[in-house]
Amino acid sequence: MGMRLINGWIWLSLAILPVYSGAHACSPRNQNGALSKPRDQIVQDKEFEAFLKVFTNTLIWKSLAEIVKSVILIEHSYDISPTEERVAYTRGVGDCTELVVVPLSGGGARPIARFRPPRIGIPRFSPDGNQIAYLTIVDENRDESGIFLYNLKTQQQQQVYRGHATNLLFAPDGNWLIIERKDGVYLLSPRGNLLPTWAKRIASYNLSPRGELCVEVDREPYYVLASWRELTHIEGLVSALSRFSRHPLRRAVESASGRIAWSPDGKHVAYVSQPGESVSEVWVYRYETGQTDLLVRQVGGVVDLLRWSPKGDKLCFLIMNSVSGQYYEAGVWCMKIKDKDAIKL
């Protein structure tokens, strides 16, 4: 991932695993699907500027790293199946975008769907691993943007939401979706009904096995933990606010600005902390002992997008390193929790 400042404008050069970077930049330079093969691309056109405008109103720009993080979250997210060790991501091929599934060990990429021409991003496996939800993004065109479900068994897709969105998560039952828009967080029912919530932004990377997630709110402490079912009524906000000061994850949430990820069994929580401007750390909190262990310390880079393996024995994360102070290069790494042995996918 690269970023340059030219005449007061922030331009992005994308050097990341074979992930989609816009219809105008789909040169098929990496066809084998290996996640460790980055490609350089400078994006300086009006189409990408229009794409960014869709999201800038939803984000609080605290630093250059936050801009990098937010753009990567939109276009370069990935997800790990909760039932099998496989990764879903998107990549550009010619003037199309492919939704790809690849083993967590790397190699053997299998395109499962191809789309033309909208950008697609933020793939999310359903809790049973049988479906993938994803966003389609057509700049300012609300009618062509939306959320689709792709069934891995039937190879059929259906649109479940029409309009712009910036993030999404499955509820634990696999039927409801939690979606983030520029005007807040909503619940999308199986029948397509959109229910407003009191949350302003989805902060956590996933939900706990009990259905708890971290969201941003418009009052102190600004981040709270709540059940997804509490989001639609004001009593849920009152309850979440009252118990947050006593919650065992309070320090982790405050340190990570809500960027936490529960392990599949709910016994561990990984989170990203930035103790310094150029330092990122990944910590793991253990519920049983209350102990917190340092897993990764990255100096001069940014760490984001934490994902647990199905068995909870591995943790994946995206690392963005600054190269010569001019741009970022990014890659996904997978680390075994027990021996802290990491490999680049």
Residue 246 belongs to a domain with what CATH number? 2.120.10.60
53 has a pLDDT exceeding 60 = no
174 has a pLDDT exceeding 80 = yes
Give the count of domains, the chain. 1
* pLDDT at residue number 251: 94
Task: Tell me the pTM.
Answer: 0.78
In angstroms, the Cα distances linking 211 to 75, 182, 237 are 26, 23, 15
In the block, which residue shows the tokens 């300086």?
44
Distance CA 237, CA 229 (A): 11
Report the pLDDT averaged over residues 318-336: 75
73 has a pLDDT exceeding 90 = no
Give the closest residue to 258 by CA, choosing from 207, 295, 328, 299: 207
In angstroms, the Cα distances linking 282 to 54, 208, 315 are 30, 18, 10
Report the pLDDT averaged over residues 294-301: 86
Tokens at residue 110, please? Answer: 């299998």
Report the pLDDT averaged over residues 273-277: 85
Do residues 11 and 2 make contact, with C-beta atoms less than 8 angstroms apart?
Answer: no
* pLDDT at residue number 72: 55
Distance CA 291, CA 26 (A): 45
Is 78 buried (19+), middle (13-18) or exposed (0-12) by CB count in 10 A?
buried
Report the pLDDT averaged over residues 80-88: 93
Residue 262 binned pLDDT confidence (cut-offs 50, 70, 90) = very high
DSSP letters for 39-62: B--EE-SHHHHHHHHHHHTT----
209 has a pLDDT exceeding 90 = yes
- Percent over 90 (pLDDT), the chain: 47
Higher pLDDT, 170 or 116: 170
Supply the range of the domain harboring residue 151: 2-344
Q: Tell me if residue 5 falls in helix, strand or coil.
A: strand
46-56 vs 64-75: helix axis angle to the nearest 10? 100
280 has a pLDDT exceeding 70 = yes
Least confident of 76-90, 197-211, 235-249, 320-334: 320-334
* pLDDT at residue number 13: 31
| Alpha carbon distance, N-terminus to C-terminus of the chain | 16
Q: Identify residue 105 by its one-letter amino acid code.
A: S
Do residues 328 and 68 make contact, with C-beta atoms less than 8 angstroms apart?
Answer: yes
Distance CA 335, CA 345 (A): 10
* pLDDT at residue number 113: 77
Do residues 319 and 302 make contact, with C-beta atoms less than 8 angstroms apart?
Answer: yes
Question: Is the preceding omega at residue 221 within 30 degrees of 0, hence cis?
Answer: yes
Report the pLDDT averaged over residues 305-311: 95
17 has a pLDDT exceeding 90 = no
Tokens at residue 177, please? Answer: 């979706």
* pLDDT at residue number 325: 62
Distance CA 319, CA 34 (A): 16
Mean pLDDT value across the chain: 78
Report the pLDDT averaged over residues 127-144: 81
Dihedral over alpha carbons 35, 38, 39, 40 (to 10 degrees): 150
* pLDDT at residue number 70: 57
Is 342 buried (19+), middle (13-18) or exposed (0-12) by CB count in 10 A?
middle
Higher pLDDT, 96 or 175: 175
Report the pLDDT averaged over residues 36-50: 38
Residue 179 binned pLDDT confidence (cut-offs 50, 70, 90) = very high
Higher pLDDT, 37 or 265: 265
Residue 137 binned pLDDT confidence (cut-offs 50, 70, 90) = confident
Distance CA 49, CA 64 (A): 17
Give the closest residue to 190 by CA, choosing from 175, 173, 172, 168: 175
Give the closest residue to 210 by CA, choosing from 223, 227, 225: 227
Q: CB 52: neighbour CB atoms within 10 A? A: 18
Alpha helices in the chain (DSSP H): 46-56, 64-75, 234-244, 250-256
